[in-house]
Amino acid sequence: MNFATIKKHDVANGPGVRVSLFVSGCTHRCKGCFNAEAWDFGYGAPFTEQTQAEIFAALDHAYIAGLSLLGGEPCEPCNQRALLPFLQEVRRRFPAKTVWCYSGYTFDTDLAAGGRAYCEATDPMLACIDVLVDGEFVEELKDLKLRFRGSSNQRIIDVAASKNAGEVRLWQPTK
C-alpha cells in the first residue's frame, strides 16, 4: 500500500487534534473529490515500518485525540489488508485514542458480509475503528456547514454501537 500524506495536527477530520493518514488508491472516482491525485494506487510513498513508527510517534502525545484514516480509500480490500496489522498495533499502543475512518463504501451494504468491499480483513479492521464516515462524496450534496463530512448523504457511524445493535447507529458527539 502507498500513502499520499500524513497530517500530524489535523483538526478537520474528527474531534480534537488528530493524526491523519491519507492512503492511496480509490476506485470510486467521486466528482469533485478534494484528493483526486490519491485515486492512483501507486501515488505517494510506500507505507513502511518507518512510516508506521512516524505515526506512532505522532500519536504519542496527550493532546492527540486519535487517528483518522482517509484517502484515496482506506476500505479498498487491498488497503484493508495492509492497514489491519497497523490498526491492531495502534489499538494495542493507544487504547484511549479514537480511530476514525472515512470511506466511500457504506457500512451496512458494501462493508457487510457479501458486500463489494468485504474481505477477510473487513470485520477485524472495523473492530479497530470507533467511527466510520461512510458513503461516496456527492458534489451536488456538498455542504460546507456539515461537521466532519463533505456531503449530506454521508453518515457518521458509531461502529461498536452499530455492531451491537445489528443496525446503523449514528455517532453522537460528547459535547
| Contact (CB, 8 A) for 131 and 100 | yes
Kindly indicate the confidence band of residue 33, based on its pLDDT and cuts at 50, 70 and 90: confident
Task: Look at residue 175 in the predicted model and tell me its pLDDT.
Answer: 64
C-alpha cell at 131: 467511527
Convert the pLDDT of each residue in 102-157 to its tens digit. Answer: 999 999 999 999 999 999 999 999 999 999 999 999 999 999 999 999 999 999 99
Please indicate, yes or no, if residue 38 is contained in any of the structural domains: yes
Is 53's pLDDT higher than 90? yes
Please indicate, yes or no, if residue 62 is contained in any of the structural domains: yes
For residue 147, give its domain range: 2-165
Please indicate, yes or no, if residue 57 is contained in any of the structural domains: yes
Please indicate, yes or no, if residue 173 is contained in any of the structural domains: no
Global pTM? 0.96
Please indicate, yes or no, if residue 93 is contained in any of the structural domains: yes
Domain count for the chain: 1
Task: Look at residue 174 in the predicted model and tell me its pLDDT.
Answer: 79
Q: Which residues of 122-140 are buried (b: 16+ CB within 10 A; e: fewer)?
A: beebbebbbbbbbbbbbee
Q: What whole-number percentage of the chain has pLDDT above 90?
A: 91
Please indicate, yes or no, if residue 95 is contained in any of the structural domains: yes
The three-class DSSP label of residue 154 is coil
* Mean predicted confidence (pLDDT) in 43-62: 98
C-alpha cell at 127: 473492530
Residue 9: partners with Cβ closer than 8 Å, 6 or more residues away: 17, 19
- Residue 66 to residue 43: CA distance in whole angstroms: 25
Please indicate, yes or no, if residue 82 is contained in any of the structural domains: yes
